[in-house]
Structure 1
């Protein structure tokens, strides 16, 4: 049962619109949150995923504001995070409301724009990977996370979902307005907040709520939205979102930005973002999602257009030197692309640049060149291969990102489970050894193996080996 203290109830009642009731809010706060997932269209279409999982007893109800988002119900309880389909990146377990901000960001963008986008507070990666899918891995996506421990989680999810157009940074996001001034076509700021909307997921989230502690974060939110606006190009779009419910963390922060730059800030209405969006729309055009409106978590989303240039607040920082990567020669570029094509039938993206660091080969998004030296990056693009004494060795993440449609050895459910648990796969006697191969499940890559004729020698990176895999067939679940 949700623990709502009276101070919170008194405060939030003042912010709730008159057509909603605090009794309904309390009632919905005590209901279990509906499970929801987002299909990863970098690997599979939603239509194909639905057909794939229907025989397994998965019932998927479309989420109105996300084309690839679904509420999921199963006949039996399954640990979704331990299914093969999740581990191979076919879907992301994501709360329905959190799919709103990227949808709002892309309501007037598409992958053809080849945009440069910033996600200012990225971990664990639900919205980052949703944005990458909406970009279809084109353009450039900078994903920033302030917490060092959460950067690792972010990176793992980016790799699992086959994202290749991303560079990760690890900064207090207040630096972007200074270091990457006037750079981005679009920015998502899913700001740190009091988390009032998460009560259905965490019943004790508001147990110790106080007005003072909630208001203490507003200064940070205002500094972040100012930084984001300075980093945005004239004509660009900023989406500000929180999982808070109070006006002072939401509408007031947006109004603060408009007060600072009245000639450059334009609020764009989200009332037509999806069917029935007007039910959560404020008079400013923001979405203020209360749990009882769509039977979801609470959330706030504002879309802001930059309509005029703003003078730089500080001098341009000095360029950073000692960048550890260099462009490969034309010969090496040709050799690497030929290796992937002849070994796996993989065509590496032409709109990318192959870079080298020591004996490692990396694929950078083409638009990354404009940002090198302007800021320090944790990880750019993806490592695709190592140079060995006699040839090349493809990397697991490159296979996950680019292996779809390549030559693959399809595994059964049982074999895929064995593979993800780090075990070799026995084969029928008399098969001819094929060397390095891609193994797949549902015709989507799982990783690499060495075909030795009698068995597939497992090449799954040790850190990805799982102790437990569950069957995604709900009819077989206990």
Structure 2
């Protein structure tokens, strides 16, 4: 029990004033004092839900479905020896440890079979739970712009994207307020999981409310209003936006959405989430938003709104000084050569919806859907780096294996559990009875875990530093 959860009286008074009549404060406080159930989301870029469920049964993990996310499960697992984050399945990118309620915004964005998007903006992306969830829903097609204002958190975002085999993402590091002016009406869908006061997070952080004040809530809501306006400008007419927070105050939730409606009038339509999952009506507001108190579904407090843009609005004017773009699109001849050599070396095919771009000797794969934005915006990282050119051809990179290989390629080496543990600790391995030459796809069972290079009977480790773990592995 988190009986030491700090809940300021002024905050409790605010909750009492907005709590729906069918709920009560005793249940609210009791829910805040209960530890969260641990939950995970299966990464369908790497494994099907059915295959993962089978794996979980074999490992003795108990899974209970999260009703609003077909890939989501509450999980009971013995972590006394190995934490879930250090299991081979997690490090191979087969699942993401993600709070159940935070799966809801992406489910709301992809609510129907018609919700297929070629261009998506995740405006506040780190650490990457929702970004990787969106990428899986997009099946790595189109382009996903993942923005994070905090420079220190971009590294974590990139590491999670890399671990999960995402290849259609482009990262940026800006205040989200820039998008409306810099990329107006560029995206078919926008997720704005807005920075907030975090009132819903006390179940995982007993001190989350230590610095809470009504004044800070109002200040944060002003920023949220700027962000939602920017997101709306960046959205194409006919496009869908989901606004979400992990907080409970109406100032940061309903009032931000109403501000958007007041600002843009009939161009804004609220779309009800009543059919998002069975039982959604328990948290439904009169506008069709989901305002989730922690006792309702035994999860974090959360808010989700789905909004449609049905009319255009004049975007803010900005002066752009981008400088020279450092990449050059490869000629058809070079692209064909890269594709041919990759096929010959590793039996991996380049995807048809991406193109090769060059920067000095580095070879990158950019999603084709990104191209309209390249002259309009500066990204910190685009697509995936697949090779470095040298005089005898190409030196293939880690993400060629983790984002493009199917695991069925013949040019592969299967590691024992002991060798895989060494691999994830960044060390070279010597698989028993195996040898070869050149690059090789490294696997644990059927799971691709990286790319190495044979040096006699030793495989030189090619795992990026940010993915290396040094202790307490599976």
The alignment's TM-score, normalised by the length of structure 2, stands at 0.95
Aligned to 2:43: 40
Within 1, Cα distance between the matches of 2:127 and 2:463? 23
Matched length = 468
2:117/2:189 contact within 8 Å kept: no
Extract unaligned runs of 5+ from structure 1.
Answer: 472-478
Deviation at 1:83, TM superposition (A): 1.5
Q: Deviations over 1:145-183 (max 9, x none)?
A: 111111111111111111111111111111111111111
Within 1, Cα distance between the matches of 2:253 and 2:340? 52
Aligned to 1:92: 96
Aligned to 1:194: 197
Q: After superposition, where does 1:79-478 map in structure 2 within 5 Å?
A: 79-108=83-112, 113-314=116-317, 317-318=319-320, 320-404=322-406, 405-407=408-410, 408-429=412-433, 431=434, 433-452=436-455, 454-471=457-474
Within 1, Cα distance between the matches of 2:404 and 2:415? 18
SS of the aligned residue for 2:85 comes to helix
Name which of 21, 29, 33 aligns with 1:18: 21
Within 2, Cα distance between the matches of 1:168 and 1:110? 26
2:267/2:310 contact within 8 Å kept: yes
Within 2, Cα distance between the matches of 1:190 and 1:114? 18
Aligned to 1:476: none
- Indicate the RMSD between aligned Cα atoms, in angstroms: 1.6
Within 1, Cα distance between the matches of 2:236 and 2:137? 20
Within 1, Cα distance between the matches of 2:436 and 2:274? 59
Deviation at 1:458, TM superposition (A): 2.6
2:159/2:466 contact within 8 Å kept: no
Within 2, Cα distance between the matches of 1:432 and 1:205? 53
Within 2, Cα distance between the matches of 1:76 and 1:464? 21
Distance 1:213 1:319, change over 3 A: closer
Within 2, Cα distance between the matches of 1:28 and 1:406? 49
Deviation at 1:432, TM superposition (A): 5.1
Within 2, Cα distance between the matches of 1:151 and 1:76? 28
Distance 1:416 1:432, change over 3 A: closer
2:367/2:383 contact within 8 Å kept: yes
SS of the aligned residue for 2:266 comes to coil
The alignment's TM-score, normalised by the length of structure 1, stands at 0.94
2:144/2:168 contact within 8 Å kept: yes
Within 2, Cα distance between the matches of 1:398 and 1:452? 20
SS of the aligned residue for 2:265 comes to coil
More deviation in 400-409 or 133-142? 400-409
2:125/2:131 contact within 8 Å kept: yes
1:52 aligns with 2:52: no
Within 2, Cα distance between the matches of 1:267 and 1:463? 41
Within 2, Cα distance between the matches of 1:295 and 1:9? 19
Distance 1:369 1:303, change over 3 A: same
Q: Deviations over 1:192-230 (max 9, x none)?
A: 110000000101111332111211111101011111111
Deviation at 1:264, TM superposition (A): 0.8
Within 2, Cα distance between the matches of 1:229 and 1:432? 55
Deviation at 1:398, TM superposition (A): 2.1
2:190/2:241 contact within 8 Å kept: yes
1:83/1:469 contact within 8 Å kept: no
Distance 1:109 1:372, change over 3 A: farther
Aligned to 2:66: 63
1:417/1:469 contact within 8 Å kept: no
Within 1, Cα distance between the matches of 2:154 and 2:436? 40
Extract unaligned runs of 5+ from structure 2.
Answer: none
